[in-house]
Every structure is written in structure tokens, then in C-alpha cells.
Amino acid sequence: STHTAGIETQTDGGVVYRGLAGVTFDQSQITLIDGKQGRLQYRGYSIHDLVEQTTFEETAFLLLNGQLPTTTELDQFKHQLVAAREIPATILELIQLLKDGHPTEVLRTCLSALATFDAERLDGSVTATKARSIRLIAQMPCLIAAHHAIRQGKTPIQPNPTLDHAANFLYMLQGTIPSQQAQQIVNQILILHADHSANASTFAARVVAGTRSDWYAALTAAIAAFAGPLHGGAIEQVIAMIQAIGTPERAADYVANLQANNQPVMGFGHRVYQTEDPRARHLRKAAQALSAQSDNNYYAILEAVVQAMRPYMAKGIDVNVDFYASVIYHLLGIPYDLFVPAFIVGRTVGWLAQIQEQYANNILIRPLLAYVGPIDQPYPALSQRQ
């Protein structure tokens, strides 16, 4: 067998769907992905309309509640998010103990630990669920920013109640109120990252929720799955690739070398898209705009990688969501090891909506494995084994 996902027929006639590729495991009302035409919709609304016309808060409300908020509902939701930002003091102590860990590991551990502060963690009522979701969304950037401050020996910057989710995140990381442009781009990136149907991390969250384990357990599993370099972790690999390439002229050789070694180009390829990821066009625009204002050559290197990847693109291996996002975060001044946590700030909303949907119509997720090892072996006594 190879690493490749797909269908394999066993000698006994059984069929194996490696990597569950193409397998539909439930119905959902959250996110539509049409991988052939490159369409992406949240609750029936095009990602292109949402990214151009809404804020992160409006899209988060939509994903969680199934419909766009009225003005009153949106105001209330924003206030609730601002009011829920405070992290328990014990979690700050935990961060202090773990401060030298990778930010994604620290975040994952904090999420798991937060369960112990929620006396209603098994309460699935609408009221408890809404309050918990708001708390989790609100606290995710605060956890990341608190760790970032603590690891530099600084006191965490208190959240600013006059700033929305996106702006406050940058503010807590950097200590200054971000520009209008930076605020708008972070809003857009959080919207684009908010959900993506049954990706590996969402699937992991649903598997855990499917056993009726609690929300914190499901989110911890989601972060664990997300961190790998074939999924959310790819964003760190993209920036490492850009640095390894160094100048646009060297991109073609770099890509050819990966190709010769049968290694994937990071930020390219996707299990469900056979065309450009529809999120990439907005990310490209933002990366280009920020790049035009700096003398950094990272965007030019990405363009050269795209040129070198043209033959692959004809085969449907195109840029994915991580490709341009890496340069955007870099040009916004976010350290490399916070790229994955920054993506998680957006994706938390989708995980919560997906966990909520799983609980609402729960089924234990329990697929099969085709056993292909030896059978009916005679048992040798320990003394007889070589």
C-alpha cells in the first residue's frame, strides 16, 4: 500500500476506503463544499459574500445559530463575547508552567484543563451550550495572547472591551491598536477559517462527541488533529518552505527537488478540492495588498512557486487555504509558531457548530478495519521463541 487515499478491493471482495476518502458519514446543515466547482457556503451563504460583507462575529453567529443575526442579536452576541474574555487564574498559572512549549500544545492543554472550570460541562441545554460556546470562542485568543506574553516574561495584556474579536486578538498580541487594514484582514481570515465541513480535525471532534464525551474533550481532540503538518500544521511548513527557497528565482528548483523526492509542496493539494480552494482568492488579495506595502519578498516567492506548480494545477493540485495565509500572518507581525493557533481562533467556531450538530442527532462513529495480518498462528511458548 502507498500513502495514497482511495478505494482498494480486498482479495475477499471487501472494499476499503483508505483515509475514508469519498465516504459520507452523516448529513449536515452547516457547510457546503463543492470540490469540483470550488464552491464553499456556510449555512447556504457564499463564502465570497460573507468574507466581503460580514464581520467575524456575524459569521460566527450564523454558523452557531443557523441564521444571520438581526441588529439586536448581533449587538447582544458581541457584548456576550466581550464579557466572556476573562481566563481563570489557575489557567494562567498552568500557562506559566508550560510557557516554553509550542503555542499549539499549550493551547491544547489549556482547552483540556478548562473543562475542570465548567461545572455544567455535561449540560447540553440550549442556555448552557450557548454560554459555553461564547466563552470558548472569546477565550481562545486570550489564551494564545496570554501565553505569548508569559513566555516573553511579560504580563498578559488585558483584553480591550472597545475592540471586536479580530482587533482585540492582534491588540493583545502586539500591545497596540491595529490599523483598519489589519483589523479588516484578520476579520476576513477568521471568517475564511471558520468552518470546512468534515476535515480531519472536525471529524476527530465529532468522533469524540459521538461517544457523548464533553465539549472540551471534543475540542482538545480537534486541536490535536489540526496540528499535524498534513492539516492545519501545513501553515508553519509553508513559511519554512518560503525561507528555504529564499528568492523567487530559486522556487522552480526547489519544487523540482521535492517532486524528485516524491514530497508534497506545502500549501498545495486538498482532499476535497480538484480546483483552487475558493478561500485562496481572498487570501491572495490580502497577501498581495500587505506585500505591496513592504519590501518583503515572501509573496513574490509564493508567486514563483505557483508558476513552478502549473503542471500540477492542470491535474487539480492547486493552492489551499494555508498557502497565502502564511504570508498574511507574517506581514501582520505574527510569530511563526502562532500561525496554527491563529487559524484555530477562526476554526473554533466551526468545531463548536459541528460538535453541537453531532450531539443534536448523535450516533456513535465506529468504522471498521480490514484485517490483513496472519491468522490462526500456532502459539509458541515464550521459551521456544528465538
- Positions touching ligand ACO (CB under 6 A) are 3-5, 19, 199, 230-232, 234, 264-271, 312, 317, 320-322
What are the cell numbers at 75? 449587538
Q: How far is the CB of 271 from ligand ACO (least distance, A)?
A: 4
Q: How far is the CB of 105 from ligand ACO (least distance, A)?
A: 18
- 111 and 223 Cβ atoms separated by less than 8 Å: yes
Closer of 214 and 236 to ligand ACO (Cβ): 236
282: annotated active-site residue: no
Strand order in the sheet with 45-46: 31-34, 39-42, 45-46
Closer of 318 and 357 to ligand ACO (Cβ): 318
Nearest-CA neighbor of 245 among 339, 290, 308, 321? 308
DSSP secondary-structure letter at 294? S
Q: How far is the CB of 87 from ligand ACO (least distance, A)?
A: 26
Q: How far is the CB of 1 from ligand ACO (least distance, A)?
A: 12
- 268 and 323 Cβ atoms separated by less than 8 Å: yes
Q: Please identify which of the residues 270, 277, 282, 318 carries the catalytic annotation.
A: 270
Cα separation, 330 vs 338, in Å, equals 10
Q: How many residues does the chain have?
A: 386
270: annotated active-site residue: yes
Cα separation, 351 vs 69, in Å, equals 20
- 111 and 216 Cβ atoms separated by less than 8 Å: yes
Closer of 315 and 385 to ligand ACO (Cβ): 315
Cα separation, 306 vs 313, in Å, equals 9
- Cross-strand partners of 31: 42
Q: How far is the CB of 86 from ligand ACO (least distance, A)?
A: 30
* Residues annotated catalytic, as ranges: 270, 322
